[in-house]
Every structure is written in structure tokens, then in C-alpha cells.
Structure 1
Amino acid sequence: MANRAGSADLPLHGGHVPPWLGVRTASLGAVMSQAIIHHYGRDELLRRLAHPFWFQSFGAVMGMDWHSSGITTSVIGALKRGLAPLSGELGLHVCGGRGKQSRRTPDELVAIGDRVGLDGAALARTSRLVAKVDSAAVQDGFDLYLHGFIVADDGQWVVVQQGMNGAARQARRYHWSSEGLGSFVDAPHAAIEGRGGGEIVNLTDRRAAASRDAQLDLLRDLGPDRIAREAAALEPPKPTAKDDQPMLPHLVLPGHHDVRPADVMIRRLHGTLAAAAENGPADFPELLLVPGVGARTVRSLAMVAEIIHGAPCRFADPARFSLAHGGKDRHPYPVPIKVFDRTIAVMKDAVGKAKLGNEEKLAAIRRLDAQARAMERHATGLTLPDFVAEEFRNAHDYGGRSVFGWEPPVADERAAGSV
């Protein structure tokens, strides 16, 4: 997985995560993290958190607003709550957060260092320096308000922080990774997310090394007043093609709340639906031993499995993963609480048994993901609008809930599918 994962536009949204959803996102985020570490190791989880496309998809599968800036706060908060009781077992610690919590990050890192034998003071310095680079050295018009620091017992870390541009109603998320990091001021980012908003002064670009040195020389030789006078007399040169910032692959997250056909790779959705409907109940009976689990839960499990096992190229359409457990604002549909709870129950059971050496259920979830990928080559199915309409029809039976309350039964309710 490459260090530079790309960029994306994030509409700036307010609001908060209701408690009934927050407890579930913490549980699902923790058990998915455990599964990734079990299959691929702790370093792989850190690499994924440094990948902006995966990060957005991870938040979407947990019932958060699939396209908004709020996913950053929600994912960091869910991991901080969900992984805290497992920090000793996993050797992974989540610090920081939004606002006041972000300013407590250095103190949290010092405490963790004292507890596990790391240089907490050095980690605290790293935290401050990362924040300073994105707030001062990268002058892009976004004011930082969130800083999350995930550190492992061996000293590897990932930083996810976010800034806002209130006038433009946009947010920009920055991903940092200690893996392969040689310098804090020479192209250190794993990725930057955000809509282009004009010229960016990025003094961390490796091509700006001469500029950084020259600025120090000017300040020493001329002083600030003369620099200001000289700058006023200069016409800024036009950038050449050679000097232009190279374009990274980027994900454009639109302003609309609803999930539209253009937001979803329908072929992959059909593969997931086919694997759950045709192969899930028949080929994976061990998944169905949890009471109440049916084809609808297997469909969500297939999307969770893709988050755990999918390659980076699978996450170009994070909207698709919101079709696992809906969204708190009824987009693409209300959160199906019964399905969500049974997804968590199956995952906890599978991870728990795997810890004891019984890999059967966790392996079945992995095979479900592989089956969905195989079937997407030829599967057909509902259009996205029909799929969403079906979810709304069944929302009451699935325990549909949103920030607006519980979903009532629909007047022309059809026979609901198994949960």
C-alpha cells in the first residue's frame, strides 16, 4: 500500500453521533480492527488508517455519513473508545480527537510511553510537530481542529488530522505515517484529502528545500522589514510545468447526502448481493449459528469482510459501504439496528473463536468476501434506487433508526426479508 494514497473532497458537516450509534460504531470498529490484526498484523491496520479511501469506507460501513467530514471525528472517536480496553492485548493506543481532546494528545502520549516503555516525550514532540507542519508549513486555508494519533507498542504510528475552511464549507483531512518517514519537512504526508481551493504554499514538498534554506538566509541577512519591502516590489513568477505540484489520485465526495447511482460501483454491489443471497446461507452455515442471523445480515457481513480483506483499489466508492448499515441521517436509509447488532455478534464470535485457535468462522467471512468478488464479474440485480427503496420498505422490520427516531411501518409494506 503506497504512502501517498491520494486526496478527496469532504463537505463540512456539523452534528454529533447519537449514543445508540456511538456504542455500536465503537464495537464494530474494534472487532474489525482485531480481525485485520489477526489476519495481517498490526502494521497493516496502521497502513490502512493512513489510506484516505479506506478510512472513509471504514467509517461508512459503521453507519456514519458516507461523504462528510464527520467521518473523521467519528472513526477516531469510535476507535479510541473501542480499542481502549484492548490496548494491552493489541499493543495499540488511540489518542487525541477533536477540539480540547486534540490538545491533550501530548499528555496522553507521555502517559502511554511511561506505561509501555516508549519515549513518550519524543512522541509528544512528534504530535506537536505534525500539527505545526499542517497548520503552518502547508498554507492551504484550512484551520486544524482535529488531531488523532494512533501509536503501537513498537513505536510505529499514524496521525489523522483535519482542518476546516468555514467560508467554503469544506474540510481537509491529512494522513501521516511513520512508516518510511525520513523527514518531517520533506514530503512527509501519507495522503492529503480535500478540494482544491487555489494555490497552496506547501513548504514540506521536497522541491521546496532550497526555498526553506533561502528563507532562513534572507531572514538572517536582511531582517523582516527589508524582506517585506523587497517582496512588495516583486511580481510573483508564474509556475512552470516542472514546478507544478504533481496530482495525486483523489476521491471527490459530493455535497449531496443521498447515495446516487454515480456514487456506487454497481457491479461490485451486485457481487455482494449475489454472494449473500445465493451463496451465503447455503455455503456458510457456520455464520448462521448466531440466533436471528439471516441473509440480510450476511449481506452486511460481506461488506464488512471487504473492508477487512479488500485491496486499496476496492475503496474508490465509499458510498457503497454505507449500504451495509445505512446512515444516521437516513441516507442512504435508516440504520437497521437488528442487522447491525447481529453483524457485531457474528464478528465478535468469529474473532473470539479465532483467538482460541478455531478459525472456522473468521475463515468463512474471508471466503464470503472472495465469493462476492468472483460473482461480481457476472452478477446482476436491483438498480441502486430499487435497492434503497427495498431497504426503506423493510426498515421497520430491521429496527430502522436515525437521528429522527425509529422508522414506522410503511402503509404498503411487503414481506420483509430475513434479518
Structure 2
Amino acid sequence: MAQRAGSADLPLHGGRVPPWLGERMTKLGAVITEAIVHHYGRDELLRRMAHPFWFQSFGAVMGMDWHSSGITTSVIGALKRGLKPLSGELGIHICGGRGAHSRKTPDELVAIGNRVGFDGAGLATTSRLIAKVDSAAVQDGFDLYLHGFIVTDDGRWVVVQQGMNGDRRQARRYHWLSEGLKSFIDSPHAAIEGRDQGRIVNLADRRADASRKGQLDLLASLGPDRIVREVAALEREDRQSVPAALPAQPMLPHLIMPDHHDVRESDVNMRRLHGNLAAAADRGPEDFEQLLLTPGVGARTVKALAMVAEVLHGAPCRFSDPARFSLAHGGKDRHPFPVPLRVYDETIRVMKSAVQKGRLGHQEELQALKRLDDQARRLERYATGPDLKEIVAGEFRQSTSFGGRSVFGWEEELAGDDAKGTSRG
């Protein structure tokens, strides 16, 4: 039976993804997805999409705000655009989205089912039921506004949906996975992400089975008017008594996404980051200079590829610090630094080349990426390097040469003290 995999706090952020970034997210998200399916298969992709830590890291490596709720919308949107032309080849389909797009999910599932042969009508019912569970059975103060349904040709699926609490400026993301799911109302979530709001109404917990049955019996035997009177009497009694202790819930991983927009050293596992950087410096010239990269941008692109390779190959325990993956391609709001578009484009080119050649049976470039990730893990045990402020300052100094861009515009050449790397937002 699927269980909750953890929880997280996601600050609500406004704004939109600019087209120049959205187009690149679409390309990079699609080619990383292709590589995962090539190496590990479609079921593994679904498992990763259901993992809240990996999902957040995936969005961060694509240049989105590393800690905010916007990652959910942008990742689902980018994959929907990027994988649509590849759906026949990969057998993966992205339905739904934000707002009005979420309400089209059942019709999309029926249409895809008719085309590829799975029970689209049954999955449409599943989609509606999942939305009802997280909006009615789980009353935690978050109103759903996004519903993404990822399904494969053999009818396996993962659902990622998100709700917001406007008063608290927080979002909560809900992950569902079809693998191992035996019930929609007995602890079905692969994960629920969001700030701990204290005691909530959760009729989708297996411990609520007696409550669910009791509610049906009450409604049948007493009727609504008498139920209201009984509730009033219970409330009077409750005020005069000491509440009994609740059974302890098991400890679950809790990903805390802070309100601060800048990336701080406390947000990053520096040992792993130094391993990424050391692997790029050590293996890059041997494996990449002639095989993959063009002169000039190459060395910096290897650093980005080391983090992309980890998203591609890393085990779940590797994604406890999603902020680290924002150091691959920066962020649209200049946090931790402006998006280096030349590096980003080179990353896409390298990944596309590797995947396309891998389809033809030429695995050299895909294996080079795997070796880069393996080397990072070996080196992190003893690699050292600059602190995070120095790394970020270096990115700002070189931002213009890397084609740095943010929602504020193109980066301008910095001089003197300004070249140390400052943030506008």
C-alpha cells in the first residue's frame, strides 16, 4: 500500500515563467525524462515524479525558483509541452495542469485511452476521485488549484496536485502513485508536502476507517437534524474534559522550503556540491572536451552536467538539499545567480546528443554522463573547495560571458566592487 513519503513547506510566489526560460525548461525537462526512461524505464520515472525531494530538485536544475510553489506548475507545464511530441515513442502522457487545464484532465484521459488502448474512462474516474480525496476527505486548509496526471501506455500513473492557503502564503503538494495502491481512502498518498498546520481532518487516513463508517451509520439512522444536536452536545462535553492523547504518527522526511529567496550555505550540502565541482574538474577534460563540448563554454557546462547527471542517476537520499541543484543553471529571479543561457543551451545540446545517439545504440555519451555522476560520489568524501558565497560571486563575475539573464533583463558587465556578486531581489 502506498504511504506518505514526506512533507514540505512551499512558499507561495507570484509571477510568471518568461518565455525564454519556459522554452528551455521544456527542452531540458523532456530530454532528462528521455534519458531516465532510456536507463531505468517508465516505472522508475513515475516513482521519481512521486518523490517530493526529487521533484523539487528536478525543477531547480531547470532554472525555476528553487524553493517556491511555482516549481510544481512550471515542471508539469514544461513536461506537458515537451513530452507531447514524444508520447508515441515514450508511451508517456501528461494531462491536466493549473486552473481550467486541471478540469480537462478526465476528457484528456478518455481521448488518450481510446488512442492507445488503456481504460481512459476508468482513469478519468480515478482523477476525479483523487481530486475529491485531497479537497474533501483531507481538509487541511489548502484549496486545490493544480492537478497533473502523468500516465503511461500500460495504464500506470502518478498524480501531482497542489493546493494553496492564501492567508498563510503557503502551498501544499500532494503526490499519488498507482504502484502498490490498494485503496484511495486508506493512507494512499505517496507524499503530502506542506507546512505542518497542526491537527487536521484527514478521512483518507486508514485510522479514520471507523470514523468513515460511523458517519454513514449516523446519517442513515439519525438524519441530519439530530446529528447537529448531537454535535452540539459533544462540543459542550469536550470543553469540560481533557482530550485523550492521540497515537503517535511515524516520523517522516520533512523538506523545509524557507521564505528567503537567496540560496544560503545552510540550504546546501556543501560536501555534495564540492563533489560535483571536483568531478567536473577531474573528469571533464578526459570525458567531455573532445566528445561533447565546444571550446569556451565547456568547463562551466560540465559543472551543470554534473548536477543534471545526479538528477538522472541519483538515489532518493541524494535530494535532501534541492537548493544545490539551482547552482546548475541559476534562477529566473537572479537567485542564486542569473540563468547562464549559453551554459543552459549547451547542456540541452549535450543531453540531446547523448540521448539521440543512445537510441541508435551508441552509448558513449550517456555513459560519460554516468561516469561523471559516479566520480562526484567518490570525490565528495574528501573534496574541498570554496564556500557558497565565493561560488555565487564567481558566477556573477562571469555572468555576462555566460549570457546571464533574469526577469530583470540581461546582465551588464560589472566592474570593481560590483563584480563581487550582488542581488537585486
Same fold (TM over 0.5): yes
Paired position in structure 2 for 1:78: 78
Paired position in structure 2 for 1:32: 32
- Give SS of 2:96's match: strand
The 2-side partners of 1:11 and 1:239 are apart by 33
Q: Over residues 278-307 of structure 1, what are the superposed CA-to-partner deviations in whole Å (9 max), with x where a residue is unaligned? A: 221134445434465411000000000000
**Number of residues paired by the alignment?**
412
Q: Over residues 45-77 of structure 1, what are the superposed CA-to-partner deviations in whole Å (9 max), with x where a residue is unaligned? A: 000000000000000000000000000000000
- Give SS of 2:63's match: coil
Name the % identity.
75
Q: 1:240 aligns with which of 237, 242, 245?
A: 245
Deviation at 1:238, TM superposition (A): 2.4
Paired position in structure 2 for 1:107: 107
Q: Over residues 320-359 of structure 1, what are the superposed CA-to-partner deviations in whole Å (9 max), with x where a residue is unaligned? A: 0000000000000000000000000000000000000000
- Give SS of 2:190's match: strand
Q: Is the 8 A contact 1:139 1:200 kept in 2?
A: yes
- Gapped runs of 5+ residues in structure 2? 420-425
Assess, with a 3 A threshold, how the Cα gap between structure 1 residues 291 and 82 changes in structure 2: closer, same or farther: farther
Paired position in structure 2 for 1:122: 122
Paired position in structure 2 for 1:183: 183
Letter in 2 for 1:340: Y
1:296 aligns with 2:310: no
The 1-side partners of 2:364 and 2:296 are apart by 20
Q: 2:258 aligns with which of 251, 254, 265?
A: 254
| Counterparts of residues 390-409 of structure 1 (less than 5 Å) | 390-409=394-413
Q: CA RMSD in A?
A: 1.4
Under a length normalisation based on structure 1, what TM-score does the superposition of the two structures give? 0.96
- Gapped runs of 5+ residues in structure 1? 415-419
Assess, with a 3 A threshold, how the Cα gap between structure 1 residues 287 and 140 changes in structure 2: closer, same or farther: farther
The 1-side partners of 2:260 and 2:284 are apart by 33
- Give SS of 1:288's match: coil
- Give SS of 2:209's match: helix
Q: Is the 8 A contact 2:172 2:195 kept in 1?
A: yes
Q: Which is further off, 280-289 or 97-106?
A: 280-289
1:220 aligns with 2:224: no
Q: Which is further off, 290-299 or 149-158?
A: 290-299
Under a length normalisation based on structure 2, what TM-score does the superposition of the two structures give? 0.95
Deviation at 1:163, TM superposition (A): 0.2
1:136 aligns with 2:136: yes
Q: Over residues 111-141 of structure 1, what are the superposed CA-to-partner deviations in whole Å (9 max), with x where a residue is unaligned? A: 1011111111111111000000000000100
The 1-side partners of 2:260 and 2:10 are apart by 11
Q: Over residues 99-119 of structure 1, what are the superposed CA-to-partner deviations in whole Å (9 max), with x where a residue is unaligned? A: 000011111111101111111
Q: Is the 8 A contact 1:287 1:346 kept in 2?
A: no
Paired position in structure 1 for 2:48: 48
Q: Is the 8 A contact 2:297 2:402 kept in 1?
A: no
Letter in 2 for 1:184: F
- Give SS of 2:292's match: helix
Paired position in structure 2 for 1:385: 389
- Give SS of 1:233's match: helix
Q: Is the 8 A contact 1:105 1:149 kept in 2?
A: yes
Q: 1:342 aligns with which of 346, 349, 366?
A: 346
Paired position in structure 1 for 2:423: none
The 2-side partners of 1:30 and 1:283 are apart by 24
Q: Is the 8 A contact 1:281 1:288 kept in 2?
A: no
The 2-side partners of 1:64 and 1:323 are apart by 11
The 2-side partners of 1:286 and 1:369 are apart by 19
The 2-side partners of 1:299 and 1:4 are apart by 34
- Give SS of 1:9's match: strand
The 1-side partners of 2:223 and 2:251 are apart by 36
The 1-side partners of 2:348 and 2:315 are apart by 23
The 1-side partners of 2:129 and 2:251 are apart by 25
- Give SS of 2:26's match: helix
The 1-side partners of 2:210 and 2:94 are apart by 36
Q: Is the 8 A contact 2:289 2:298 kept in 1?
A: no
The 2-side partners of 1:239 and 1:6 are apart by 26
Q: Which is further off, 285-294 or 330-339?
A: 285-294
Deviation at 1:365, TM superposition (A): 0.3
1:410 aligns with 2:414: yes
